[in-house]
Amino acid sequence: MRIGASLFVIALLFLAVGTGTTRSAPPGMLRIAPPTVHFGTKQVGTFTLKGAVITNASSRPINMFVAIDRMPDDFSFGLWPGSTCDPFQPAPLAPGDSCKAVVGFRPSDYFTGHEQHAALEAIATDPDTGEVLETVLIDFFGTGV
C-alpha cells in the first residue's frame, strides 16, 4: 500500500471512530431573524442602524457572543443603541431568550454604487466547558449612492 493510500485509510478510520468527544448541542440551537439584513441603497454620508435578533432555540442555557467575521470600512459594530448582545465576551442566554446585534452602515464616496457585505458570527458556547456548540453567520448588505 502506498503512503497516500495509507493516510486515506487512516483518515477514514478517524472519521468513522471519531475523536471520542460528543457534542451535546442540537444543531440549529441559534435562531437568527433575519439571517440576512439589507440596508438597501443609502445616500453617501447618511448613517443607518439595523440588526438581527439571536434566539437560544435550544432547551438548555448557553453562553453566547457576537464576533466580527467581515466588516468593511462603511460598516461598524459595537454598542449601538438597541444592541443587547455582548460584543466583548460570552454572556448567558437562557432557553427561549434573545438578544439583538446591531450594525451601523455609513456609505462613503469610495464605494459608491457597489454593494458591500459585512458579516457577524453568533457563537454559542457551553457555559461549563467553553466548548463552541454552534456558530452562525449573519450577513449585512448595503449600497451607497
Q: For residue 100, is it within any domain?
A: yes
Please give the residue range of the domain that contains residue 137. Answer: 27-144
Is the dihedral angle over the CA atoms 110, 116, 121, 122 positive or is it negative? positive
Model pTM greater than 0.75? yes
For 88-129, the pLDDT digits (tens) are 789 999 999 999 999 999 999 888 888 999 999 999 999 999
Q: Which helix (H) or strand (E) holds 137?
A: strand 132-144
Q: Given this model, what pLDDT does residue 14 score?
A: 34
In this predicted structure, the answer to whether residue 134 has a pLDDT above a threshold of 60 is yes
Q: For residue 10, is it within any domain?
A: no
CATH no. for residue 133? 2.60.40.10
Q: Rounded to an integer, what distance in angstroms lies between the CA atom of residue 119 and that of residue 141?
A: 9
- State mean pLDDT over 34-51: 95
Residue type, 14: F
In this predicted structure, the answer to whether residue 10 has a pLDDT above a threshold of 70 is no
Contacts 24+ apart (CB under 8 A), 68-71: 68/119, 68/120, 68/121, 69/119, 69/120, 69/121, 69/137, 70/117, 70/118, 70/119, 71/118, 71/119
Q: For residue 91, is it within any domain?
A: yes
Q: Given this model, what pLDDT does residue 19 score?
A: 34
Q: Given this model, what pLDDT does residue 20 score?
A: 33
Q: Given this model, what pLDDT does residue 27 score?
A: 59
Give percent of the chain with pLDDT exceeding 90: 70
Q: Given this model, what pLDDT does residue 22 score?
A: 32
The domain total for the chain is 1
